[in-house]
Structure 1
Amino acid sequence: MATVARTSMLGRLGDMTLPIGILAIMAMMVLPLPVVLLDTFFVSNIVLSLLVLMVALHSYRPLDFSSFPSILLIATVLRLALNVASTRIVLSEGHSGSAAAGKVIQAFGEFVIAGNFLVGLLVFAILVIINLVVITKGAGRVSEVSARFTLDAMPGKQMAIDADLNAGLLTPEDAKVRRADVAAEADFYGAMDGASKFVKGDAIAGILILVINVLGGILIGTIQHGLSAGDAAQTYILLSIGDGLVAQIPSLLLSIATAVIVTRVSSSHDMADLIGKQMSLRRAWVPVAGVMALLGMVPGMPNVLFLLAAAGAGAMAYFSREDGDEAVEGEVMPGAAPQAGGAAAAPAGGDESSEGIVPEDVTDNAPISLQIGYGLIQMAGGENGALVSRITGIRKDLSKAMGFVVPGVRIRDDLSLPPNSYRIRIGHRIVGEDQVYPDRKLALPGGASVRKLRGIEVRDPSFGMDAIWILPQQVTEAESDDYVVVEPESVIATHLSQVVTSNAADLIGPDDVQALLDNLSKVTPTLVTSVVPKLVPLHTLTAVLRHLLAGRIPISDLRRILEGLAELSGRNLPPIEMAEALRPSLTPLLLQQLGSITQPLPLITLDPELEQILIRARQAGDLDGGLVVDNGLASTVITSISEAADKAAGEGRTPVIVVASPLRRSFAAFLRPHMPDAIVIGINELPDTRRVEVVAVIGGQAGIPAPNGAR
């Protein structure tokens, strides 16, 4: 109880400190202060200014010091109150000597003047000009522009947060925090725009107070106290300059702190670390060392000093990092960009010790990684790095379509790849690779294309279509001939999207599933706690979700999945059978992504005779669903389905292959190596309320077109 009472008392005292301090500042402007208190307050003012500057230098982002505008106002008022109090003492007691206004003012005045009044006045004037014209004016302009751009960017930032929330990339709590940060940022820069005017006004007030002290002191000394003009000037100019310097030095420190805050870029490093990291470039220090060495050899120059500077710059070049020491490596998140650089070179041979090698050096645990040749680095970094924004948009779309947050894509350069090549990996497994040409565009022929364009003939990595890499000046010609022209970063992004969709089952693990459960428990806590882990263990649920994703079924309706698993829990089924049993209730989520529900769903079906052959092949083959089919028949079936699918795709439709329910899993596995994007569903998975249109019936010898019809 005593501890609680003491803490409460300290809290009340802390709440009272600021109001009492403000009242004390106001009293200083009216009531005369003893010299001892004046010295104490001057020293405290310098301490406060230094503290504010140090906090500003060690802030990672401007909002880390969001109270700065208020502190700046209080410090400015305190300094002006001290000026008023010191002016009163200088004018009333200055005739008694240079120690009349306290030791702090006397020490500053004597140190700067050093027996020469004109030097003292010029030094003070220079300090005021630096503060007012350079630092304060620049900081005020930056504050004004930052406030304007921050306010203009608010709607876009709010829309980006809403988009991330809708895509499942943010929880409602995270979105609330980010909205509060956006509002706080706008308030901060708006306040800084006004607070910078305090600093400017304080500098002007310092000049006026100095003039008043000098002129008023000389008049008072000569008229009221009978001093000679020389004695009066000597005494009052010393006191005035000392008073001005005691005020201007803290003012200069606060002006620097203001400039530091408003020019600060948000980063994970404080200012010293950030500047040191960005300036430690060997290619920058080597020329500096060379120029200093040349100047050190010029006759008449201070050769030793320049050569010492050259040696220092050479040492910095030796210890600085190479430009390529840091690989292009970064997590592509909303609003993020990869780092530029190159891959570190490995030793060519020798008896290398394991000392100094850590697991991170040899293990890349990124779920999705995109390795690019050095010729593609310009697409991933810098101001024109459009690849990152494309991948960010694809991650949002895929996350929304599949029902879980797709992991970030790590982009890094790989010097072992050809310049224009890229490689996509899921974990440590390579799942896609191809080449793009950043200075060209990919032209895909349309149905009415008749002209053959000049360029590099390739096959599109996403759809396997014949395509041509053309020069930018050929775009108009290609589009006039019904070619579809695609940017190189779109080619990579589309290929990545296809690969991620096909391998979605490998991207979700127990931690991801637990995060989905935690989110669902905010809405239906009883359902979650009653199913997981009481009826279905977490690892079993993870396996079921993986099987659903392998079949292109979204897992966004986790509530329905848990309800279905609760009904299946007593049947002791393996995860793959559970997933098959859940598919009829979840397949509509997939079908609604393929097109408007008001349009008939295009279907490709199998001839009943072929279907019976495949069912018997399944029964004679692997009991786990494998098909044992004659090579000729398999080739005919795959070719027929591919032609029918290409024809439907040419009409802008995505067909669905429908087979008998017992055959669905086997037939999907049969097609996957040849048509990874094929969607195979069982007849029992077709929604009763959805109209369908059979666009082709695949027989044993050929695809038999079916008459158009709807059900």
Structure 2
Amino acid sequence: MADPQTIKASSGAIPAPVELWANYQSLLGPLVLIMILTMIVVPLPPILLDVLFTFNITFALLILFAALHVKKPLDFSAFPTVLLLATLLRLALNVAAARVILLHGFHGNQSAGIVIESFGRFVVGGDYVVGIVVFAILIIINFVVVTKGSSRIAEVGARFSLDAMPGKQMAIDADLNAGMITQIEARRRRDEVSAESDFYGSMDGASKFVRGDAIAAILIIIINLVGGLIIGVFQHNLSLAAAAKTYTLLSIGDGLVAQIPSLVISMAAGILVSRSGTEGEVSHLVSGQVFGGNRKGLLITAITLGVTGIIPGMPHVAFLFYAILTGILWQVLQRRATVTATAAAQAITAPFQEPPADVVDSNILRPVEPLSIAIGYQIIPLIAEGGDLQKRLNLLRRRTSENLGFLLPSIHVHDDLTLRPGGYRIQVHGVRVATGDVRVGSLLAISGKAPLPPLEGIHTTDPVFGASAYWIATERSDDAELLGYTVIDPATVITTHTNECLTRYIGELFGLRQTQELLDIAAARNGKLLESVVPRVISIPALSKVLRELVVEGVSIRDMPTILETLAENGQEGASMVQTVEIIRSRLGRQILSVLAPDDPIQTAILGQSMEQLLLNAVESAGPNGMPALEPSILMHLMQALRQGIETMQAQSLKPLLVVRDPLRQALSTWLHSAGLTMAVVAFSEVPGARPLKSVLEIS
């Protein structure tokens, strides 16, 4: 039996409409341009003019409703091109209609088509002066008000979006470096920032076409009127009154049937560029902000209308009707807000139901989460289904797991009514390690080390790094970025704080369970190698300690085969954990430096000769397995010098890195970690021989 697909193909089945559209969609642009050129050159019959003018009106309405329903301006990024095509189409129709009016207008009012005649008769209404005035008013509305305003908004939007690009790019890079977004998401956001700037720039240019179109409409109606009168009177022997009646009606009808779509598209352009970066349909935004969030304004409006309605001599019915209508709307919204607030208050103040005192079961022994975040009730929307905070935490967990080479435990988020409404608490194994506060609905503008002008908002301190910051309204984010502030949302604050805690307490999140998971993966791929190492050379608990030390210093343990091979080749009975870690680090040196310093030369800090000799003497006195002891004053001096070195390298946009002699690496790394300083310490033996070193700082 033949295959149905073969039968369908051989019978010449007609493709589905969707497939036809996909096949011929690329021809749409050239066809439209050819149609426009044809209308300019070739005389068109009146019936075809009716079809094209109706299409022009339909096209304009489609553009208007598309602009109303897009969630953000970039969703209609083709609008500048569409605006240009619509303008060219109108001008071509004006040329075609002018040709028909001047050539055949003497035959009567329907000589240029029913559409032009109907629009002209409906507006003129028997009085040609009124028709001309109405047309002039439409031109003024379109040219002076709508088009000029849209052009100015597009011009300012283009300038400010271009000025804000560096700040937005830095914010994207900060999110990427913090692990809150992936490379793909960062690339998408960069493309969106670039597309936004291009969009407003294109709108700035395209709006000039609309203004030119409005001027052209005035000139075209004057040409049609004057030319029609001359042709009607001198060529076709019409009386001046008959020629004025015919050509005025046709000229005004032609102008109106072209200017109404022009006004509609200008309205669409104004709506699109005046969105101010907000997301959501225009109808939802306007109704929610004008009515839903403006109950006090509704009440004041109702009172004002009511007082105006009872003033003698005023139209009482009209004012009192709208006063009552506005008052009813205020009452409905007020009741709804009261019900919502009452329900929220009841949920917050509901008493905690303690279990009966005589009931003791396993439910009182709840498991302790390795990593958890307790949040106040105002932050709950950020972790609800589709919430931004939960997505960012998931991305952070994934990125950290990929970088370090083991599966990080899930980040458990739960509400805690004992916290402040905007407070949060980060916990490791149930113990608090960090706290902070955010303001949901606002943005945090963080200043750098250089002093910046104050902002209008609530002054605070960045909970992550302790920098000066302000909680500002969302609409002021562009102004803050232009002043040099880094602007982030509450979800980013919590995620960045969690990332800092992960870096500091990662060793407490790695244990025997994670070690066993890695060994299970290694057994499936390198079973023989694993058998020769565990437990012959090293036990699982000892291996777990070694891997934990590597993870604490930010070394990825993803390359387990290399780690196992190193243990198999260099495993020594009685070797300390410190020695084992240093042997593995030396083998993984190329990998370590590729993360810390991917570019050549490796720019690093080094120890001064006197400081280096002092530390070497202390290490020799401590022995191979001991921790060197320094006098408190010397240790404080060393930590202060290292802290200044970190700040100096960060000011030069360098990742803090210190290369030292092999015996000193472990001790310096331990001291830095204990002091809470973030600086990678690498031994000279870990540096690949082919990579050059460049000393940028001396610690002494």
- 1:597, CA displacement in angstroms? 4.5
* Bigger share in helix: 2
Answer 1 or 2: higher relative contact order, Cα 8 Å, separation at least 6: 2
For residues 139-173 of structure 1, the C-alpha deviation after alignment (integer angstroms, 9 at most, x for no partner) is 11222222233334445545555555555555444
Instruction: Write the distance in 2 (CA, Å) between the matches of 1:554 and 1:4.
Output: 66
Distance 1:408 1:271 in 2: 39
Q: Using the alignment, how far apart are the partners of 1:19 and 1:463 within structure 2? A: 57
User: Residues 506 and 226 of structure 1: is their aligned pair in 2 closer, same or farther, counting only changes over 3 Å?
Assistant: farther
Counterpart check, 1:553 vs 2:556 = no
Give the distance between the partners of 1:42 and 1:317, measured in 2 at CA: 45
Give how far 1:197 is off: 1.1
Distance 2:638 2:606 in 1: 17
Aligned to 1:485: none
How many Å separate the matches in 2 of 1:508 and 1:321?
53
CA contact (8 A) 2:546 2:580 kept: no
Matched, 1:77 2:88: yes
**How far off is 1:217 after superposition?**
1.4
Corresponding position of 1:284: 297
What is the CA–CA distance in structure 2 between the aligned matches of 1:506 and 1:122, rounded to whole Å?
A: 81
CA shift digits 1:674-707 (9 cap, x unpaired): x89599x9xxx995859xxxxxxxxxxxxxxxxx
Q: Deviations over 1:555-597 (max 9, x none)?
A: 453444564268789xxxxxxx99997687459979999x944
| Structure 1 position 48 matched with structure 2 position 72 | no
1:342 and 1:415 in contact (8 A); partners too:
no
Name the CA distance, whole Å, in 2 between partners of 1:212 and 1:463.
Answer: 70
| Corresponding residue for residue 117 of structure 2 | 106
Query: What corresponds to 2:425 in structure 1?
Result: 424
TM alignment of 1:79-98, pairs within 5 A? 79-98=90-109
Corresponding residue of 1:18: 29
AA partner of residue 426 (structure 2): R
Alpha-carbon shift at residue 33 of structure 1 (Å): 1.0
Q: Distance in 1 between matches of 2:318 and 2:78?
A: 45
Match of 1:64 among 75, 78, 81: 75
Taking the aligned partners of 2:408 and 2:271, their CA distance within structure 1 comes to 38
Conservation of the 8 A alpha-carbon contact between 1:91 and 1:220: yes
Q: Which amino acid is the alignment partner of residue 29 of structure 2?
A: L
Alpha-carbon shift at residue 227 of structure 1 (Å): 2.2
8 Å CA contact 2:155–2:204 kept in 1: the answer is yes
Structure-1 residue corresponding to 2:563: 564
SS in 2 for 1:226: coil
Contact conserved, 1:342 with 1:414, CA < 8 A, in 2? no
Describe how 1:680-695 pairs up with structure 2 within 5 A: none
Amino acid in the other structure paired with 1:78: L
Equivalent-residue separation in structure 2 for 1:556 and 1:343 (angstroms): 50
Q: Does 1:309 align with 2:322?
A: yes
Which of the numbers 161, 175, 188 marks the counterpart of 1:150? 161
The whole-number CA distance in structure 1 between the counterparts of 2:523 and 2:60 is 55
1:196 to 191, 207, 214: 207
TM-score when scaled to structure 1? 0.58
Structure 1 CA distance, aligned partners of 2:84 and 2:523?
A: 53
User: By how many angstroms is 1:120 displaced?
Assistant: 1.1
Q: Quote the residue 1:38 is aligned against.
A: 49
Gaps of 5+ in 2: 1-5, 353-369, 380-388, 439-461, 467-488, 532-539, 569-575, 598-603, 646-657, 659-665, 687-698
Q: 2: CA distance between counterparts of 1:56 and 1:408?
A: 42
- Cα distance in 1 for partners of 2:605, 2:335 equals 54
SS at match of 1:278: helix
- Secondary structure, aligned partner of 2:112: coil
- 1:565-604 map, 5 Å: 585=584, 596-598=605-607
Structure 1 residues 677 and 161: alpha-carbon distance in aligned structure 2, compared to 1, 3 A threshold: closer
C-alpha root-mean-square deviation of aligned residues, in Å? 6.3
Cα distance, 1:277 vs. partner? 3.1
Contact map agreement 2:426 2:498 (CA 8 A) in 1: no
Q: How is 1:430-469 mapped onto 2 (pairs within 5 angstroms)? A: 430-433=432-435
Counterpart residue number, 1:261: 272
Q: Identify which of 192, 196, 210 aligns with 2:221.
A: 210
Distance 1:59 1:563, change over 3 A: farther
The correspondence of residues 234-273 of structure 1 with structure 2, limited to 5 A, is 234-273=245-284
Compute the displacement of 1:283 (Å).
3.4
2: distance between equivalents of 1:164 and 1:678? 21
> CA 1:418 to 1:132, structure 2 compared with 1: closer, same or farther past 3 Å?
same
Give 1:241 deviation, angstroms.
Answer: 0.9
Distance in 2 between the 1:82 and 1:217 partners? 18
Post-superposition offset of 1:320:
4.3
Partner of 1:124: 135
Contact 2:348–2:417 (8 Å) recurs in 1: no
AA matched with 1:46: I
Instruction: Rate the CA distance shift 1:592–1:155 in 2: closer, same or farther, 3 A.
Output: closer
SS in 2 for 1:301: coil
CA apart distance, 1:94 = 1.7
How many residues align? The count is 534
The answer for unaligned runs of 5 or more in structure 1 is 328-340, 353-364, 375-387, 437-459, 465-488, 518-525, 570-576, 615-639, 657-663, 691-709
- State the one-letter code of the partner of 2:33: I
Q: How far apart in 2 are the matches of 1:646 and 1:299? A: 85
Report the Cα distance in structure 2 between the residues aligned to 1:4 and 1:155, rounded to whole angstroms.
54
Matching residue of 2:689: none
CA drift of 1:187 comes to: 3.0
2:546 and 2:577 in contact (8 A); partners too? no
Q: Distance in 2 between matches of 1:317 and 1:547?
A: 68
**Residue 553 of structure 1: CA displacement?**
0.9
Corresponding residue number in structure 1 for 2:650:
none
Please tell me whether the aligned partners of residues 142 and 263 of structure 2 are also in contact (alpha carbons under 8 angstroms): yes
Q: Which amino acid aligns with 1:146?
A: G
Q: 1:187 aligns with which of 198, 206, 212?
A: 198
Q: 2:311 maps to which residue? A: 298
Distance in 2, Cα, partners of 1:648 & 1:408: 38
Secondary structure of the residue that 2:109 maps to in structure 1? coil
> Per the alignment, do residues 266 and 113 of structure 1 end up closer, same or farther by CA in structure 2, a change over 3 Å counting?
same
What is the CA deviation profile of residues 53-100 of structure 1, one whole-angstrom value per residue up to 9, with x for unaligned ones?
111222222222222222111111111111111111112222222222
What is the aligned partner in structure 2 of residue 631 from structure 1? none
Q: Distance in 2 between matches of 1:463 and 1:167?
A: 13
What is the CA distance between 1:253 and its match in structure 2? Answer: 1.0
* In the alignment, structure 1 residue 345 sits paired with structure 2 residue 345: yes
Q: Residue 298 and residue 251 in structure 1: after superposition, are their counterparts in 2 closer, same or farther (change >3 A)?
A: same
CA–CA separation in structure 2 for the residues paired with 1:322 and 1:76: 49
Matched, 1:230 2:241: yes
Post-superposition shift, 1:128?
0.5
Change (3 A) 1:274 1:373: closer
1:553 maps to a residue whose letter is V
Mapped partners of 1:422, 1:145: distance in 2:
38
- Where 2:110 maps in the other structure, the secondary structure is coil
Distance of 1:579 and 1:309 partners within structure 2: 82
Q: TM-score scaled by structure 2?
A: 0.59
Query: Can you list the C-alpha shifts for 1:462-481, whole angstroms capped at 9, x where unaligned?
Result: 999xxxxxxxxxxxxxxxxx
CA deviations 1:428-466 (Å, max 9, x no partner) are 875445899xxxxxxxxxxxxxxxxxxxxxxx99999xx
The alpha-carbon distance between structure 1 residues 688 and 142, as it changes in their structure 2 partners (threshold 3 A), is: closer
Question: Equivalences for 1:320-399 in 2 at 5 Å?
Answer: 320=333, 344-347=344-347, 368=373
